[in-house]
Amino acid sequence: MTSTVRHRRIQVGNVDTFYREAGPPDAPVVLLPHGYPCSSYEFRNLMPLLGDRWRLVAPDYPGAGYSATPDDFDYSFDGYAQFLDRFVKTLGLSRFALYLHDFGSPIGARLAIMAPERIVAQIIQNGDIPYEDALGPKYAEIEETWTLPEAEMRARLAKAIDEETFKEEFLNALDDERADRIPPDLWKLHWSLVTPKRKEVAIDLIAGLKQNRAWFPAHRQYLATHEPPTLIVWGPHDHYMPEKSARAYLRDLPQAELHLLDGGHWLLETHLEEVSGLMRDFLGRVHA
């Protein structure tokens, strides 16, 4: 099953926004917020596989991919959620399923909390979790910077924003057999789009993980209260989000479907057919 991906631009507030879209305009919608250090490019292979039955929409955040990087934007998890809210309203998307991956998870979850009635279902794939005790060992390196004075913390984070670190992010905890499925385009492309301003944006966002920790209870309350139909598709070979991170969601979503695949953080690169097949089955039952 294939469908053409269309590449479009739209004005969202003061942000010249690039987005990818596939599928019929009147089909049930799947919203695809991207992770870090990526863009809507991460969904380029998934969208054609589901576009025969669903309308898939993947924007680039301000300061990422091919969207603009305005000076007066709030580059935080809250700011990105407000942007997504304006984006879906601009496109007239009133109900949709959410794909939550990496930083797209806390951003998308904030969007869901704004208007729970819009969320038909969620697919969680190695998303940043709201469970402190189930984070992977790599998170300890980030938490260590929180003890530093602000200027020193930002300087430490700035040193970690380079092409080699981008490569490490995409190859996260994979052995050679799995890592050779990750195309170097991911880190080469996204590093080529980094400007001095975008580097500051990345520092702001990573530093914001400290403040995001205080938001965990609100995320958990949303899950437990609304219990949206949920498919959890996880790659346990992930230093940030290992298997225990996936299983933590079952505390508040006991009815969720959990599938562990033999991959890592970027399953759409290594296990595309398996993920798209699971999504097709799940969405066919809850969002047809």
Looking at per-residue pLDDT, the higher value among 61 and 142 belongs to 61
Give the model's pLDDT for residue 141. Answer: 87
- CA 105 from centre of chain: 5
Which residues, including other chains, have CB under 8 Å from residue 156's CB and lie 6 or more apart? 145, 148
Is pLDDT of 1 > 60? Answer: no
Give the model's pLDDT for residue 101. Answer: 98
Residue 135 in tokens: 């984070």
Give the model's pLDDT for residue 133. Answer: 96
Residue 286 in tokens: 């809850």
Closest CA to 101 of 259, 234, 269, 256: 234
Instruction: Label residues 38-64 b or e (16+ Cβ within 10 Å = b).
Output: bbbbbbbebbbbbbebbbbbbbbbbbb
User: What's the CA gap between 287 and 53, in Å, rounded?
Assistant: 10
At 156, give phi and psi (nearest 5°).
Answer: -65, -45
User: What's the CA gap between 184 and 172, in Å, rounded?
Assistant: 13
Instruction: Label residues 1-12 b or e (16+ Cβ within 10 Å = b).
Output: eebebeeeeeeb
Give the model's pLDDT for residue 2. Answer: 64
Closest CA to 269 of 105, 46, 30, 64: 46
The model's pLDDT over 90-117, given as tens digits with 9 standing for 90+, comes to: 999 999 999 999 999 999 999 999 999 9
- CA 51 from centre of chain: 19
- Place 149 in a pLDDT band, splitting at 50, 70 and 90: very high
What is the overall mean pLDDT for the chain? Answer: 96
* pTM for the full predicted model: 0.96
The model's pLDDT over 7-56, given as tens digits with 9 standing for 90+, comes to: 999 999 999 999 999 999 999 999 999 999 999 999 999 999 999 999 99
Cis peptide leading into 37, omega within 30 of 0? yes
User: What's the CA gap between 113 and 267, in Å, rounded?
Assistant: 26
Looking at per-residue pLDDT, the higher value among 146 and 90 belongs to 90
Domains of the chain: 5-286 (3.40.50.1820)
Q: If you average pLDDT over residues 152-168, what whole number do you get?
A: 94
* Residue whose pair of structure tokens reads 């219990």 in the numeric block: 227
User: What's the CA gap between 62 and 17, in Å, rounded?
Assistant: 7
Give the model's pLDDT for residue 173. Answer: 81
The model's pLDDT over 185-213, given as tens digits with 9 standing for 90+, comes to: 999 999 999 999 999 999 999 999 999 99
Is pLDDT of 220 > 90? Answer: yes
Interior CA angle at 98 toward 241 and 247, to 5°?
30
HSE of 286, CA atoms in CB hemisphere, 13 A: 22
- Place 180 in a pLDDT band, splitting at 50, 70 and 90: very high
User: What's the CA gap between 148 and 125, in Å, rounded?
Assistant: 31
The model's pLDDT over 167-178, given as tens digits with 9 standing for 90+, comes to: 999 999 899 989
